[in-house]
Amino acid sequence: MSLTARELLHKLADDAGLTYPTVAKRVNRMMRKGSGLIESVQEIAVEHKLKPSKYKINPVKIVNETEKILREDYTQTLMISAVLGQMVEARGKERFPPPAFFAYTEMLSRISDTPRDVKSETSVEIEERTTRVIELMTTLVSVLCEWSEQGVVGVAGDCPETLRDIARAIFRKTKLLQGGLWTCISCGNIVEARETRALMCIECDSKLSGSRNIEDRFESLGGNDRKGYGRSTE
């Protein structure tokens, strides 16, 4: 079974005898009109006389693989977080979609009990893991949430019970952001998006004495201050 949207589109392209860009463009167009990822893929499958049930993604497996990557090495996870944090603040094509970023912060909260290890990955390995996490998270939001032209509009009808909390959190934070509000990645307080400093509220930012290093920011998530999202050990 495919784990990411890219893998699923490749499988459909191969089976239908189409090129990957053709399938990808078509699916993007359908999704912009409010159709879900799986729904779009299955519709194209049917057009090509393929069995739609063969084209599925299991979100539970995405969560499991992401947790496994994030538990591998603490420093690596910090570096992945730093890259994603910078990407969500970027503009234009480079931008990591906020709903996928919110999915990522939910994943981080699930691994908060991970012991810090000393294993160190090479920069190439870290880059590979980062790319993988980006793919996993963008796929996860497209299957857990209900989408329309406006973006995330709710929790997908077929979202598994165990992942509904994640889907709800993504939806809530995305809706707030659409209204100009940001959920601080450290304390979880809701503040004006334009008043945030590198993903944090002004108070949390000043506690870091203005450090612009985004790794420091994610590091602070592991501290006792953390109440923001999900479980915290206090």
Region of 11-19, 62-70, 156-164, 180-188 interacting with Zn ion (CB under 5 A)? 180-188
Structure tokens at 58: 């299991």
Region of 5-13, 75-83, 92-100, 178-186 interacting with Zn ion (CB under 5 A)? 178-186
Select from 21, 15, 64 the least CA-distant residue to 6: 21
In a 13 Å sphere around the CA of 162, the CA atoms on its Cβ side amount to 8
- Nearer to Zn ion (CB atom), residue 13 or residue 208: 208
176: left (phi over 0), alpha (psi -120 to 50) or beta: alpha
| Shortest Cβ 202–Zn ion spacing (Å) | 8
- Nearer to Zn ion (CB atom), residue 13 or residue 193: 193
Rule CB under 5 A: is residue 204 a binding residue for Zn ion?
yes
Region of 126-134, 150-158, 193-201, 214-222 interacting with Zn ion (CB under 5 A)? 193-201
Cβ–Cβ < 8 Å for 122, 160? no
Region of 31-39, 104-112, 156-164, 183-191 interacting with Zn ion (CB under 5 A)? 183-191
The full DSSP string for 110-176 is HTTTPPP------HHHHHHHHHHHHHHHHHHHHHHEEEETTEEEEE-TT--GGGHHHHHHHHHHHHH
| Shortest Cβ 105–Zn ion spacing (Å) | 13
Q: Number of residues in contact with Zn ion, rule: CB under 5 A? A: 5
- Choose, by CB under 5 A, the member of 187, 199, 214, 221 that binds Zn ion: 187
DSSP 56: -
Most distant pair of Cα atoms in the chain: their distance = 61
Rule CB under 5 A: is residue 12 a binding residue for Zn ion?
no
85 CB-contact burial (10 Å; exposed 0-12 / middle 13-18 / buried 19+):
buried
- Choose, by CB under 5 A, the member of 186, 220, 226, 229 that binds Zn ion: 186
Q: How far is CA 69 from CA 32, 104, 105, 214, in A?
A: 30, 12, 14, 20
Query: What is the C-alpha separation between 164 and 159, in angstroms, rounded?
Result: 6
| Shortest Cβ 199–Zn ion spacing (Å) | 9
Region of 61-69, 118-126, 179-187, 214-222 interacting with Zn ion (CB under 5 A)? 179-187
Rule CB under 5 A: is residue 184 a binding residue for Zn ion?
yes
In sequence order, the β-bridge partners of residue 182 are 191
Task: Compose the 118-147 pattern: x for residues touching Zn ion by CB under 5 A, - for all others.
Answer: ------------------------------
| Shortest Cβ 191–Zn ion spacing (Å) | 7
Rule CB under 5 A: is residue 185 a binding residue for Zn ion?
no
Interacting residues toward Zn ion by CB under 5 A: 184, 186-187, 201, 204
